[in-house]
Amino acid sequence: MQEAYVNINNIPTHIITWGKWIEESLNDIQEIVVCITGNPGLPGFYTEFCGALQKELGSDGHNLPVWVIGHAGHDDPPEASIREVPQLSGNAELFNLKGQIDHKIDFIKKYVPQHVKIHLIGHSIGAWMILQLLKEPEIRDRIKKCYMLFPTIERMMESPNGWLFTKVAMPLYSVFGYVFFNAFNWLPAWIRIFLIQIYFWIFAIPNHFLGTALKYTKPSVAEKVVFLADDEMARVSVLQRDIIEENLHLLKFYYGTTDGWVPLDYYVQLKSALPQLDAQLDNKNIAHAFVLRHSKPMASIVSNMIKQNVQ
């Protein structure tokens, strides 16, 4: 595993790779796996999943590099870095949905050679971003297959979690969020760690995510995470059926059965409208936020999908 912060669309961006670093030669590589995260878009939450995925693929001789790119502004570089993430104020266009899509386009054009085909994984809002990437001919032509995991591609505000976010979480954040996150970060490090460990214990989240969770609580990161989520509620509403129909051969969907962001009805209605759609329903009780507790079983599922499409 290699990681660093590199400039993508003029924003220091956390990239983590397995197999080949983004700046290494890919002359001997024909296919690659690129994972676009959900929200929050911190690659640290995806290390177990992507590491297990690359290992699963390698076990059958498919030595595909696996790269994960987070969202712009969701992961600040170390304090010693000379590069800083721009503030949200005055730079909304860098951190909203359109900005995040431009960010991924810039990454692919800059680091993936044209001869390399991409297996593109999109988790949650990452799946919606993939649909937008398919509108770009230069990107679409490089894609071998897209794997849409727990895809938030329609009616986000109408989902149970969308209702809670817009009616409860967002009003509370608007009033108390800035004060809460700033007060939390004024606490001594050991208290912050202790409080997060209690949260992890309650929700059975592994402690190896502690460092990433500490980054997530930084006010400069939290505000961009919430800002993107609010933009999702406004923009991810009507299903973009035309894009899906035009790219059926490139799309593979994986839906959960207990997903507060993507109710089961969404899967049923989509399959009814597009019977030819390659969509699979989870039978392992894997949660929407699979990276926290179900990384290895999900990696096994996705590796089997990819193996069916490798040259």
* pLDDT tens for each residue of 108-160: 999 999 999 999 999 999 999 999 999 999 999 999 999 999 999 999 999 99
pLDDT of residue 61: 65
Is the model more confident about 79 or about 11?
11
**Chain centroid offset of residue 196 CA:** 22
Domains and their CATH numbers in the chain? 2-156+237-307 (3.40.50.1820), 161-231 (no CATH)
Report the C-alpha gap between 302 and 305 in whole angstroms.
Answer: 5
Which pLDDT belongs to residue 80? Answer: 67
Catalytic residue, candidates 75, 259, 295, 303: 259
How far does the chain reach from its first CA to its final CA, in angstroms? 25
Q: Residue 268 — very low, low, confident or very high, per pLDDT cuts 50/70/90?
A: very high
Q: Is residue 94 within 8 Å of 11, Cβ to Cβ?
A: yes
Write out the H or E segment, with its range, that includes residue 131: helix 125-133
Provide the pairing of β-strand 31-36 with 2-8: unpaired
Looking at every residue in the chain, the average pLDDT score rounds to 93
* Model pLDDT, residue 5: 94
Strand order in the sheet with 66-69: 2-8, 11-18, 66-69, 31-36, 117-123, 143-149, 251-255, 279-281
Question: Is 259 considered catalytic here?
Answer: yes
Structure confidence by residue, pLDDT tens digits, 39-53: 999 999 999 999 999
pLDDT per position as a tens digit, 273-282: 999 999 999 9
Q: What is the mean pLDDT of residues 202-227?
A: 88
Catalytic residue among 14, 76, 123, 124, which?
A: 124
The bridge status of strand 117-123 relative to strand 251-255 is unpaired
Inter-residue contact 136 to 285 (CB < 8 Å):
no
Q: How confident is the model at residue 206, as a pLDDT?
A: 84
To the query of whether residue 294 is one of the catalytic residues in this protein, the response is: no
The one catalytic residue in 14, 103, 123, 288 is 288
The phi and psi torsions of 33 (rounded to 5 degrees) equal -110, 125
- In tens, the pLDDT along 18-35 reads 999 999 988 889 999 999
Indicate if 288 belongs to the active site.
Answer: yes
Q: Residue 67's pLDDT band (boundaries 50, 70, 90)?
A: very high
- Kindly indicate the confidence band of residue 225, based on its pLDDT and cuts at 50, 70 and 90: very high
Q: Per-residue DSSP letters for 138-167?
A: HHHTTEEEEEEES---S-TTTSHHHHHIII
